[in-house]
Amino acid sequence: MFLSWPGTVRFRCARCVCIARSSDVVAGTQCNTDECPKVLVPPVVTLNIGPSVRTQAQWRSMTVCNARPAVGSGSVAGTAPWALYTERQRWWYLAILFLVSAISYFDRFVISVLLEPIKREFHASDAVLGLLSGFSFALCYAIFGMPVARWADRGNRRTIITLSLGVWSVMTVLCGVAQSVLQLVLTRVGVGAGEAGSVPPAQSLIADYFPPQRRASAISVFMAASTLGNLLGIGVGGYVAANYGWRVAFLVAGAPGIALSLVTHLGLAEPRLKVGFPELREEPESFTETLRHLTAKRAYVYALMGCVVYFFMSYGAIAFVPSFLIRTLHLPLARVSITYGSVFAAASVIGTLSGGWIADRLARQDVRWLVWIPALACVLAAPSYATALASLSYPSFLAMAFVALTLLVGGLPPVYAAVLAVCGSRRRATAIALLLFSATLVGGGLGPLAAGVMSDAFSLTYGSDGLRYSLLIMTSALLVTGALFFMSGRAMPRDLET
């Protein structure tokens, strides 16, 4: 199958090591250069089509051949970035990014299982704990995310990820030596500033390592790292805190990232450093122009709004679930760390990987499934979460929480794939960062704070059940999220762009 756009079509080997010397060949034949591994691969297509916008049918044709469309009205001579690497190299780079993401989530969420001992030591209210676990982190994560993303859209993304990893790991270690709530807030601000350089450049690299028809699956693998990170945060962090104290838990969380930063610097590849990669010759967009392009796409705007509400609920509820189990169901911290951590991990792995796999396959028939799957998942997760929180026994809570978590985390990877499909290659990191800026500042920042404030208010009347009612109210936001993702899907076909 070939693209039906008018223009100049040239076929050549997509696996040739020496791009400059690769010979033009007929599609389906082998390259005749000595350096080529002689692997039959789809052709690279150079197109002269004016604006680089795809229809839905053209998106489906991209699942067969790798295309590099023109910028503006001219044609780009070069190769698709994902054709620069072998399959083994792609998965090696994804494995490194997976570990970086896992450490990020470990350092980000370890505090959720440490809130109760921190509360006892500093005599803090739930509102203060919400500020500590949410807003203090989210503020700098959101503020630094945008300038770092602009750098990532133009500069060396490997360097950005390495520096960011080192910064947030050191700040996590410093959380363990804080002597007051104020010092904890300041160090969490540092963690947020460092982690701002993690997801946008990483997802931008993944979009260059993997072709469009495989991005949802690749992103789902990348996001499955959140499972490992949360398991480490809840399981390892909770175990260490129960046996050695919450300060040691922070030290254990921060140390691995310092060592991993060296692996990241030596092990990742930056496609922009490859000879012949065309983005080096493109004029960079101004930030104003980028915003104009993104906000003109209704699919992107609705996806962004959906993610804001999604993270408002998920961060607000998830941050307080261990406290809910300890306070309302009267469970010991060690048991919560092992059992709930295991359920969370299993649901996250199943949901994340299956969500990306299903989305890739359904999107080949209709690209709107990239956001319709998340819409359906959120609508089904809302009653599942409500049932779990209303449960009076721990086994029933775990059963329904498993269903809710599987749906909730399974819907998120396709959303990022949808964003990458509509934002355009020149503004990938900025598009992801703008989404995370809004979702983290409003959702991650205000979500835990709102849950904590409602818990304090309800606890005056309902005692330990006040937190339960607070989290039940938070789950209703998932219905709004589902509606916003559905509207994003309706706008996707006309907003697709390479």
Q: Which domains does the chain have, with CATH numbers?
A: 1-79 (no CATH), 84-495 (1.20.1250.20)
**Length of the chain, please?**
498
Nearest-angstrom CA–CA distance, 119 and 109: 16
Per-residue pLDDT at 300: 93
Per-residue pLDDT at 149: 83
Q: Do residues 313 and 374 touch, judged by C-beta distance below 8 A?
A: no
Burial 83-120 (b: 16+ CB within 10 A, else e): bbbeeeebbbbbebbbbbbbbbbbbbbbbbbbbbbbbe
Per-residue pLDDT at 223: 84
Nearest-angstrom CA–CA distance, 44 and 24: 10
Instruction: Write the CB contacts of 105 (distance below 8 Å, at least 6 apart in sequence).
Output: 225, 226, 228, 229, 230, 232, 233
HSE-up of residue 227 (Cα within 13 Å, Cβ side): 25
| CA 150 vs CA 200, 201, 288: distances in Å | 10, 10, 12
Report the amino acid identity of residue 275.
Answer: V
Per-residue pLDDT at 116: 83
Give the residue from 72, 83, 63 showing the smallest Cα distance to 11: 83
- Structural tokens at position 459: 């606890």
DSSP H helical segments within 232-283, as ranges? 237-244, 246-267
Per-residue pLDDT at 226: 80
Q: DSSP states of 395-427 as a string?
A: HHHHHHHHHHHHHHHHTHHHHHHHHHHHH-GGG
pLDDT averaged per 10 residues, the chain (length 498): 32 38 36 40 34 43 40 43 85 94 89 85 81 75 81 87 94 91 88 86 88 83 84 85 90 93 92 63 73 90 92 81 86 82 84 86 86 93 91 90 91 87 82 81 77 87 85 90 93 83
Distance of CA 249 to the CA centre of its chain: 25
Per-residue pLDDT at 261: 93
Nearest-angstrom CA–CA distance, 376 and 176: 41
Per-residue pLDDT at 60: 47
Read off φ and ψ for residue 67, nearest 5 degrees.
-125, 145
Q: What is the pTM of this model?
A: 0.65
Q: Helices 199-209 & 136-152, crossing angle to 10 degrees?
A: 40
Q: Helices 157-175 & 181-195, crossing angle to 10 degrees?
A: 170
HSE-up of residue 302 (Cα within 13 Å, Cβ side): 23
